[in-house]
Amino acid sequence: MQSPAPYSPSTMVRVVTAASLFDGHDAAINVMRRIIQSTGCEVIHLGHNRSVREVVDCAVQEDAQAIAMTSYQGGHVEYLTYMRRLLDEQGASHIRIFAGGGGTILPSEIEELHAAGITRVYSPDDGRAMGLQGMINDLVAKSDFIPPIDDPEHLAERVRMRDPRAIAQAISCAERGQHDLIGFAADAVRRPVLGITGTGGAGKSSLTDEIVRRFLLDQPDRSIAVVSVDPSKRKTGGALLGDRIRMNAVSNQRVYMRSFATREANVALNPHVADAIRILSYAEYDLIIVETAGIGQSDSQITEVCDVSMYVMTPEFGAATQLEKIDMIDYADLIALNKFDKRGALDALRDVRKQYQRSRQRFGEPLENMPVHGTIASQFNDPGTNTLYRSIVDALKQRCALDWESSYSVSDEMSEKIYIIPPDRTRYLAELVEENKRYDARVEKQSEIARRLWQVNGTIEQLEDLHTQERRGR
Ligand code: B12
Ligand SMILES: Nc1nc2c(ncn2[C@@H]2O[C@H](COP(=O)(O)OP(=O)(O)OP(=O)(O)O)[C@@H](O)[C@H]2O)c(=O)[nH]1
Ligand SMILES: [Mg+2]
C-alpha cells in the first residue's frame, strides 16, 4: 500500500500524547507522536504511565484540540471513558480523544468506546487499511479546528479567578493574534519573572521542576506558573514540546503550565511569551518561570522578559576559553552548573566562577561569592539545588521588593552523587555473584562431609547392632 501524503492542517493543531497509567508500552505512542509532529502539529508529550487526571489537566492547560493515547494494560475502557467524563466535567467537551492498543482492545470494546464519546480507537485492521500516515491524517483532520472560547465577555474575570481553561484560552488568543480579546491584560501589574535559559539538554526543565517543588513546600500560600518554550521544526512547522515529561511537581492546584513552540527557526523565545506573562500577571501568580528553547551560546533574549535570569550549563562545556564566548555568563544573575555528578565538575565550577568574576570585574571578591551553583537536578533533595533555590528567592526578593520568607538556607554543602552501587567498585555485582558461588561451594562441601559422617555413623550403628545380636546368639 502506498503511504498517503501528510494532511495539511489549516489551524495550529496541538495534541497531547501519552501511554496510559501502569503502562510501559511506549513504543507505539512514540511512533505515532513523531508522525503527528511531522504532519505539522505541536505535540505535548507526557511519556508513559500517566494518570487520567494528569493528561486531562495538561490538555486543558495547553488548550489542546486532541489527546492521543496508547493503552496496552487492559483497563482501556475504564481509562478512556473516565478521561471523557473528566474532560466534559471541566467544560472541555471539544477536546477529542484518540487511542490505540493493538489487539488488546477488542472490536466490541471499540464500538463501546466510540459510543461513549471517544472520537476514534484505531485497531490493527485500521492500521492495515489506512497505513500509519493514513491513521494520523484522520486524527489530525478531525482535530483541525480552532478551540472554542467560552464566554469571551467574561474572559478577564475567569482569568483573574485562575480558571486554567480561561488562562489557556487567553494565551491561545495571543498566539492567534486576537489581541482585542485579551486587552484586559495590557495593564496588569507585572509579577516576578524568573527566566531560565541554557544549552539543549543541560537540565533546564529538571531544575524548573525542582524549583517548583521547593516553592510549593516553602511558600504554602503562593502560586506559580511555568511557561516553557521548545523549538519548532523548520521543515514541517511541527514541534515536540517535551518539557512536561520532566515536570512531576506541576500536578497541583497552585501551578499552571503552558508549553510554547517557537514557531520560528533559530529563536529561543516565542514572540507571545510576553503576552503570556501579562495574562499570568493578571491572574496574579506569585511567580512566573519562563524556560527558553535553549538554542546555544548566544541566547540572551530571555533577559528582556525576566526580572531574574538563570543560565543552566553542564561541566561539559569544553575548554575554559569556550566560556568566554557564552553571552549569558555576562548577563545571567545566577548560573546553575547542573549535572554536577559528571567528571571534572569541581574544575568546571572554578572555571565558570572565574569567568563570571572576570565578566563583572569583581576581582576583589573571593571566587566562592560568585553566584555559580553546582547542582544535580536529577537527585532528590540535592543540597546544591537547595542553595540555588534560596539564591533565586533572595535575588527575586531584592529585584522585585518582595517580603517572602524562606525556610531554605544557603549552605556550603556540595552536590554529591549518592550511588546505590559505588562507581569505583565496578565489579560490585560480579563480586556479589562470586561470593554467593563461594558460599554455595562451601555449603556443598560441608554437606558432603556431613553426609559421609552420617554414613560412617550409620555403618558404626549397624556393626554395633550385629555385634549385639552375635553376643545374644552365643
Ligand atoms: C512490544 C511489546 C512489548 C515491549 C514494549 C516496548 C515498548 N517500550 O513499548 C516489552 C517487551 C517491553 C513488553 C513488555 C510487557 N508486555 Co508487551 N507487548 C508488546 C507487543 C509485542 C507489541 C505492542 C506494540 O507496541 N505494537 C506496535 C503497535 C504500533 O501496533 P499495534 O499494537 O498492533 O497497534 C495498531 C493499532 O492499534 C494502532 N495504534 C496503536 N496505538 C495507537 C495510538 C494512536 C494515537 C494511533 C493513531 C494508532 C495506534 O497502530 C497499530 C496499527 O496496526 C504486544 C503484543 C502484540 N503483538 O500486539 C505485547 C503485549 C501488549 N504485552 C503484554 C504484556 C502482558 C506485557 C508485560 C506485562 C509482560 C510481563 N509480564 O512483563 C510487559 C509490561 C511492560 C510494562 N512496563 O508495561 C500483553 C498485554 C496483555 C493484556 N493487556 O491483556 C501483550 C498483548 C502480549 C500478550 N498477548 O500477552 N511488551
Ligand atoms: N546525570 C545527570 N542527568 C541529569 C541531571 N539533570 C537532568 N538530567 C538529565 O538530562 C536530560 C535532559 O534534562 P532536561 O531537564 O530535559 O534538560 P533541558 O535543558 O530542559 O532540555 P531541553 O529543554 O530539551 O533543552 C534528562 O535525561 C535528565 O534526566 C543531573 O543533574 N545529572
Ligand atoms: Mg527543557
pLDDT one-digit tens code per residue, 315-347: 999 888 999 988 899 999 999 999 999 989 999
Alpha helices in 190-307 (DSSP H): 204-218, 273-282
In short, whether 248's Cβ falls inside 6 Å of ligand 2 is no
Atom of ligand 1 nearest to the CA of 135: 47
| Residue 356: how many other CB atoms lie within 10 Å | 22
Lowest mean pLDDT among 222-236, 258-272, 334-348: 258-272
- From the CA of 109, which ligand is nearest? 1
Give CA–CA dist 147/153, Å, rounded.
16
Atom of ligand 1 nearest to the CA of 125: 53
In short, whether 231's Cβ falls inside 6 Å of ligand 2 is no
Residue with CA closest to ligand 2 atom 2: 339
Residue with CA closest to ligand 1 atom 82: 74
Written as nine digits, the cell of 22 is 501502569
Atom of ligand 1 nearest to the CA of 30: 9
Pocket test for ligand 1, best of 16, 55, 72, 120 (most atoms within 8 A of CB): 72
| Residue 397: how many other CB atoms lie within 10 Å | 16
Separation of 20 CA from ligand 1 center, angstroms?
12
Write down the pTM of the prediction: 0.90
pLDDT band at 297 (very low <50, low <70, confident <90, very high): low
Residue with CA closest to ligand 2 atom 12: 201
Domain boundaries, the chain: 14-142, 188-400, 423-467
Alpha carbon of residue 190 to chain centroid: 27
Atom of ligand 2 nearest to the CA of 376: 31
Closest by CA to 205, choosing from 303, 300, 310, 67, is: 310
Residue with CA closest to ligand 2 atom 9: 203
In short, whether 339's Cβ falls inside 6 Å of ligand 2 is yes
Separation of 72 CA from ligand 1 center, angstroms?
6
pLDDT band at 277 (very low <50, low <70, confident <90, very high): very high
The DSSP symbol for 270 reads -
Q: In the chain, pLDDT over 70 holds for what percent of residues?
A: 98
Q: Average the pLDDT over 237-245 and give the result.
A: 93
Atom of ligand 1 nearest to the CA of 28: 29
Q: CB–CB of 63/169 below 8 Å?
A: yes
Separation of 101 CA from ligand 1 center, angstroms?
7
Residues in the chain: 474
Mean pLDDT (the chain, rounded): 94
Q: Average the pLDDT over 382-396 and give the result.
A: 96
Which residues contact ligand 1 via a Cβ below 6 A?
23-29, 31-32, 68, 70, 72-74, 98-104, 122-124, 127, 135, 139
For the domain made up of 14-142, give the CATH fold: Rossmann fold (3.40.50)
Q: Which residues in 212-253 belong to E strands, given as ranges?
A: 224-230, 239-241
The residue type found at 200 is G
What pLDDT, on a 0 to 100 scale, did the predictor assign at position 417? Answer: 75
Q: CB–CB of 342/315 below 8 Å?
A: yes
Give CA–CA dist 406/387, Å, rounded.
11
Lowest mean pLDDT among 91-95, 291-295, 327-331: 291-295
Is the predicted pLDDT of residue 298 greater than 70, yes or no? no
- List, in order, residues 6 or more apart from 395 with CB less than 8 Å away: 308, 333, 334, 371
* Torsion angles phi and psi, residue 104, rounded to 5: -70, -20
- DSSP β-bridge partners for residue 17: 45, 68
Residue with CA closest to ligand 2 atom 30: 339
Alpha helices in 300-427 (DSSP H): 327-331, 345-360, 383-400
pLDDT band at 3 (very low <50, low <70, confident <90, very high): confident
CATH class as words, domain 188-400: alpha beta
Element (H or E) spanning 84, and its range? helix 76-89
In short, whether 382's Cβ falls inside 6 Å of ligand 2 is no
3-state secondary structure of 252: coil
Burial class of residue 131, CB neighbours in 10 A (0-12, 13-18, 19+): middle
Is the predicted pLDDT of residue 110 greater than 80, yes or no? yes
Separation of 29 CA from ligand 1 center, angstroms?
10
In short, whether 315's Cβ falls inside 6 Å of ligand 2 is no
Give CA–CA dist 300/294, Å, rounded.
10
| Residue 431: how many other CB atoms lie within 10 Å | 11
Closest by CA to 211, choosing from 183, 192, 185, is: 192
Element (H or E) spanning 113, and its range? helix 107-115
Lowest mean pLDDT among 42-56, 148-162, 316-330: 316-330
- Asked if 14-142 and 188-400 have one fold, the answer is yes
Separation of 380 CA from ligand 2 center, angstroms?
14
Atom of ligand 1 nearest to the CA of 139: 47
Atom of ligand 2 nearest to the CA of 338: 31
